Amino acid sequence: MYEGPGGEVFQSLQEVYEHVVAARIASADADKSKVHLSVLQHFLNERCSEKEEHSEEDRRFVVTSSTLEDYLYRGDHPVVANMSLYVYCTWVYRIEKPPPRRADQPPARRYVDMEFAPSYALKTTHLQRLATEFRVPLFEGYTMPSATVCSESAALYKQLLLRPLAVASSDEPEDVQLVQTFAAFCPPPDGATAFNRGWLQFSSQQATEAAIARHRFLARYEWPSVWETAEVQQTLLEMHLEEQRTRS
């Protein structure tokens, strides 16, 4: 059981969330659209934040990053370019860059490693690695309401998890680039149902592609692997050819 500051008693975190959202919307000073935006802001601020320390030219830097930022700055490598956050957390994880090899030492191609976007703070110190087996991602720090309770918040979180997003490289300030990344969530015209419209537009396209995928894997009785995609197979082929050229 959960007890609120005013003595309210709730049986679950879902009831707590519903009470907070309803109280904000009922408030005379609360704008319904701002309630959903504050939920998005909380998600971005609290999502698995981590600190990374490194030194450059006798100066020490502390960079705060997260799995979400890894995803948004994953770059344009064909293996990860079209991944959603859910698929990315299932198949990709971050590693520290290994020490450089000698010029006469052939590369050891045991894994599929990919660079981050050039504008990412951890570009020089870390890589993205494709997992050999999929993992079940666990997203903590928020509760997704059902569409019958709060359809706008549900549509927002569905897009966060399932819609491919990436920070585009531009001359705009970093905070402006981040805001522009989520513009597709709210297609014009703006309004109280913007997140719903964005989700319906995206999900209608995905429904067709999902039906094709289900048909392809219908007789296999196994979970489809990212290693079977054309992007990963092409990357493995390029790695093999590069290794052959290095050895010859």
Residue 56 pLDDT > 70: no
Examine residue 188 and state whether it is found in any structural domain, yes or no. Answer: yes
Q: Note the pLDDT of residue 65.
A: 62
* Range(s) of the domain holding residue 67: 31-247
Most confident of 43-47, 60-64, 180-184, 235-239: 235-239
Examine residue 26 and state whether it is found in any structural domain, yes or no. Answer: no
Examine residue 52 and state whether it is found in any structural domain, yes or no. Answer: yes
Instruction: State how far the alpha carbon of 53 is from the alpha carbons of 8, 121, 228, in Å.
Output: 43, 11, 36
The conformation of residue 3, written as its DSSP 8-state character, comes to: E
Q: Note the pLDDT of residue 42.
A: 56
The conformation of residue 7, written as its DSSP 8-state character, comes to: S
The conformation of residue 130, written as its DSSP 8-state character, comes to: E
Q: Average pLDDT, stretch 69-77? A: 92
Examine residue 107 and state whether it is found in any structural domain, yes or no. Answer: yes
The alpha carbon torsion through 117, 88, 235, 65 (nearest 10 deg) reads 30
150 band by pLDDT with thresholds 50, 70 and 90: confident
Q: Average pLDDT, stretch 148-158? A: 86
117 band by pLDDT with thresholds 50, 70 and 90: very high
Q: How many CA atoms lie within 13 A of 165 on its CB side?
A: 25
More confident residue, 19 or 80: 80
Examine residue 226 and state whether it is found in any structural domain, yes or no. Answer: yes
Most confident of 43-57, 103-117, 127-141: 127-141
Asked if 156 contacts 62 with a C-beta cutoff of 8 angstroms, the reply is no
Q: Note the pLDDT of residue 231.
A: 92
The conformation of residue 66, written as its DSSP 8-state character, comes to: E
Q: Look at the chain and count its residues.
A: 248
Examine residue 25 and state whether it is found in any structural domain, yes or no. Answer: no
Q: How many domains does the chain have?
A: 1
Residues 6+ apart with CB under 8 A from 196: 151, 152, 155
Q: Note the pLDDT of residue 57.
A: 57
Q: Note the pLDDT of residue 47.
A: 47
Examine residue 124 and state whether it is found in any structural domain, yes or no. Answer: yes
Q: How does the average pLDDT of the chain come out, rounded?
A: 78
| Amino acid identity for residue 61 in this structure | F
